[in-house]
Each structure stands twice: as C-alpha cells, then as structure tokens.
Amino acid sequence: MSNYSINTKCVQAGYTPGNGEPRQIPIIQSTTFKYDTSEDMGKLFDLEATGYFYTRLQNPTNDHVAAKIAELEGGTAAMLTSSGQAANFFALFNICECGSHIVASSSIYGGTFNLISVTLAKMGIEVTFVSPDASEEELNAAFKDNTRAVFGETIANPALTVLDIEKFANAAHAHGVPLIVDNTFPTPVNCRPIEWGADIVTHSTTKYMDGHGAAVGGAIVDSGKFDWMAHADKFPGLCTPDESYHGITYAEKFGKEGAFITKCTAQLMRDLGCIQSPQNAFLLNLGLESLHVRMPRHVENGLAVAKFLESQEKVVKVNYPGLESDPYHELAKKYLPNGGCGVVSFELAGGRQAAEKFMKELKLAAIETHVADARTCCLNPATSTHRQMNDEQLKEAGIPAGLIRISCGLEDKNDLIADLAQALEAI
C-alpha cells in the first residue's frame, strides 16, 4: 500500500483478505496454534520460520493492525503492546540494560517520566533529562560513553511543547545511538517523526488512534534505518548471538529492517508478556479506520477553543502550539503543518478554586483522567493527578494551581465554546 495516501492507508493498510475471506480483520481469539509435526513447530522456536505458536508473543489480529501502524508511520516493522507505558518500556529496554544511560527530554508524559527516572533507575539504567529547548551544545553535553538512546515526545503530554525532532535526531546520530519518539498526540496523520530522522516511534494507542476511550494499548514502530551493526559495541543484544535463541544474531539474521522488532517480540514479549489482546487490537483498528477523518476535527476544535480562551479576561494563559502567540508555534509550523492535536491547556486567574468551580459548571466537557477521546474531557492537575503538591511545589513544577487541560473531542466547536463561556461566566 506504500504508494497510497495516508488517508487510504488508515482505512485499508495491514490487511488484504483473499477470495471469500472476512472483509473485517478476524479476531483470532486463541491462545495457541496447532501444528502437524514437532519439526514444524521447532522451526518457529528457532526463528527459522515465521508463524504463530502462543499469543503471549504474537497473534495474527495484532500483526495486521501493527502492519497498518508501520505503514502509517513509514516504518519497516511494528508490534502492539498492552499499553503505551509497555511500548515505551519495551522500546527502551530492548537496547538498554543495567549500566546504560538515556538522554530524555524533560517535557514528557508523567508516567514515562516515572518509568525512566524511578523504575529504570532501579534496573541500573540512568538518565539525563534535558530541556526540549536545549541548544545543540547543551544536548551534546548530556551524552556519556554508556548512552544508548535519546527519548522525546513530538507534542508533550501535558506541557504541549513541540520537540525539535531533527535537532534531537542529529545529536543522537552524532553519538551513534537511535532517537525514540513518542508520537501519541499528533499521530502519523499530523506528523511522521521517521521523516525527520527518528529511528523508533512509540504510541499510546489508547489516545487518538483508538479515539473512543474503548481500549488501552500501545505500539512500537521501527524505521528500519538505524545501522545497529555499525555500532555493535553499544548494542550487544542486537549484534551478538542470543543464547536463548540458539545463538541467533538479530541484526545479522533480520537486518536493519527487522532486527529491533524481532528481538523485542522474541525476547521481551516472551519473557515479560504485555501483549495487546486481539480483541483490543480489533477495536484499535476500528479507530484507525477513521483516524484521518477525526484528527482534522480535533485540531479544528482545539484551535477554536484555544483562540476563544485566549480572548477571555479570566484566562491568564493558553498553551496550544497552533496559536501564533505560543512559544512553540514556529516548530509546530515545521513539524505539524496540518495542526497537532485537540489538547489545550490554560490557566484561570482565580487559581485552584476558580478551576474547581469552572469545571463543575461545564456540561459537555467531563472531568476525566484521559485525553484524545471523541468526547471532550478536562482535568485540573492541582486537584487530581498532582494533588499531593502544595501551590508552591506546583509552581516549581510549572503546573500552576489554576491550570486546566482540556481535550477537545469531536463535538461541534460552537457548542464547546458556548459551554466554556457559560462556565467562565459562572466564576
């Protein structure tokens, strides 16, 4: 499908039924697969043949959907995970081990920040966080001999900063390591990080890709461009024999295009599980079929809401890269020419109390710990996700007590604005 536009790929990539086969991707609700001879099955265990033997590692439903996501991102291989958290963990742990070091943008999702700074630290993997606005010199200074990956988010959740993907990719490549980009917020419809130099792309498919708040999931896509063998000393897991697979060397046997995902499936999925259920993969694919139709509407609503909020006296500040006043507008024009996403954050003048009252007054926008859904939802970090912090600590973390994150859904923008207007009136 590689010659078709991304719109067509959203609908049809990943699965082409044969004569008389189901039009929709079948849900292969089976833990296991049957073989005629032990020899046939043995070939699968030796990675000599491709096929399925146990759904903890691989399932045909998932692989159709992963193949679609690989095509959307312009990658060579992909896999689905049980969540976005699992996708980022697997992507990093596939090339990092005890004693490795990661350079990561400090402007990332809180869950990923904890994963890297707390859980990976317990496994002996250290991190240097850098500002997403770091200069080339500052970036280069963050690398160490044991650096194995660079990590960032195209549009950060919830800070809404835009990553200078080319700058981060150049720094990573100058130090012989890949750039991993979490592309959850823009989705490949609005940005394809591989085209700007990213090597591995991850997703929380829970967000826009699913788009209906129906299924938690994640995905990892390999660009197939990073030359592991050229940096074999840094990536022994890919470039030296795997004793747990009869001495296979992934980068030799599966090449640049296939090594990363094959190792991640054969080793990490085998040992850690965390695969997406076939049922969830099916639901995810329903979301993907309309992703190209939904994203422009999320962007349209996000921009309209951001512009409205910016014009309001009771609103101190609005963060949305699509606004000309936003510090990330220039980067957004470069990397997100069709817009980024529907998530907007803004600060109310009256702080925590005003935020609480305002959200209670909203009728269409529900209070939820979620974003990127067809229905508009909102959250005040100070009274929810960051509740343990006092106002002083919140200020230091760059999350003012009156900050509200609103994820604009697919409703009519005039209804959304009217809802916001009446709630502003009430405070």
Ligand X SMILES: *Cc1c(COP(=O)(O)O)cnc(C)c1O
According to CB under 6 A, which one of 85, 107, 147, 380 is a site residue for ligand X? 85
According to CB under 6 A, which one of 14, 74, 75, 84 is a site residue for ligand X? 84
CB 192 within 8 A of CB 165: no
83 binds ligand X (CB under 6 A): yes
Radius of gyration of the chain (CA): 22
Report the residue number, 90 or 196, with the smaller CB distance to ligand X: 90
Report the residue number, 108 or 365, with the smaller CB distance to ligand X: 108
Residues 6+ apart with CB under 8 A from 59: 28, 30, 52, 275, 278, 281
112 binds ligand X (CB under 6 A): yes
Segment interacting with ligand X, rule: CB under 6 A, options 104-112, 127-135, 249-257, 330-338 = 104-112
Alpha-carbon distance 8 to 369, whole Å? Answer: 32
b/e map 96-135, b = 16+ CB within 10 Å: beeebbbbbbbbbbeebbebbeeebeeeebbbebbebbbe
Question: Could you tell me the sign of the dihedral formed by the alpha carbons of 275, 279, 285, 291, in that order?
Answer: negative
What are the helix (H) ranges across 265-383? 270-272, 278-289, 291-310, 329-335, 351-361
Binding mask 389-418 for ligand X (x = CB under 6 A): ------------------------------
Q: Which of residues 191-230 bind ligand X (CB under 6 A)?
A: 204, 206-207, 216, 218
Residue 329 beta carbon to ligand X: minimum distance, rounded to whole angstroms: 20
What token pair was written down for 349? Answer: 């003048």
The number of residues in the chain equals: 427
**String of DSSP letters for 196-222:** GT-SEEEEETTTTTT-SS----EEEEE
Residue 202 beta carbon to ligand X: minimum distance, rounded to whole angstroms: 7
Q: Amino acid letter at 337?
A: P
Reduced DSSP (H G I as helix, E B as strand, rest coil) percent helix, strand, coil of the chain, to 5? 45, 15, 45
How distant, in Å, are the alpha carbons of 91, 99, 177, 180, 238 from that of 95? 7, 12, 10, 11, 8
Report the residue number, 63 or 153, with the smaller CB distance to ligand X: 153
Q: Amino acid letter at 279?
A: Q
Residue 175 beta carbon to ligand X: minimum distance, rounded to whole angstroms: 24
237 binds ligand X (CB under 6 A): no
The helix-helix angle for 351-361 and 413-426 (nearest 10°) equals 130
The SS3 assignment for 149 reads: strand
Residue 403 beta carbon to ligand X: minimum distance, rounded to whole angstroms: 17
Pairing relationship of beta strands 377-379 and 366-367 according to DSSP bridges = parallel
Size of the site for ligand X (CB under 6 A): 15
Q: Which of residues 174-193 bind ligand X (CB under 6 A)?
A: 182, 184
Report the residue number, 83 or 190, with the smaller CB distance to ligand X: 83
Report the residue number, 210 or 242, with the smaller CB distance to ligand X: 210
Binding mask 130-159 for ligand X (x = CB under 6 A): -----------------------x---x--
Report the residue number, 84 or 178, with the smaller CB distance to ligand X: 84
Segment interacting with ligand X, rule: CB under 6 A, options 35-43, 79-87, 133-141, 229-237 = 79-87
Segment interacting with ligand X, rule: CB under 6 A, options 25-33, 81-89, 170-178, 326-334 = 81-89
According to CB under 6 A, which one of 89, 109, 168, 308 is a site residue for ligand X? 109
Segment interacting with ligand X, rule: CB under 6 A, options 109-117, 125-133, 165-173, 414-422 = 109-117
Report the residue number, 151 or 254, with the smaller CB distance to ligand X: 151
61 binds ligand X (CB under 6 A): no
Report the residue number, 75 or 84, with the smaller CB distance to ligand X: 84
Position of minimal CB gap to ligand X: 84
Binding site for ligand X (CB under 6 A): 83-85, 109, 111-112, 153, 157, 182, 184, 204, 206-207, 216, 218
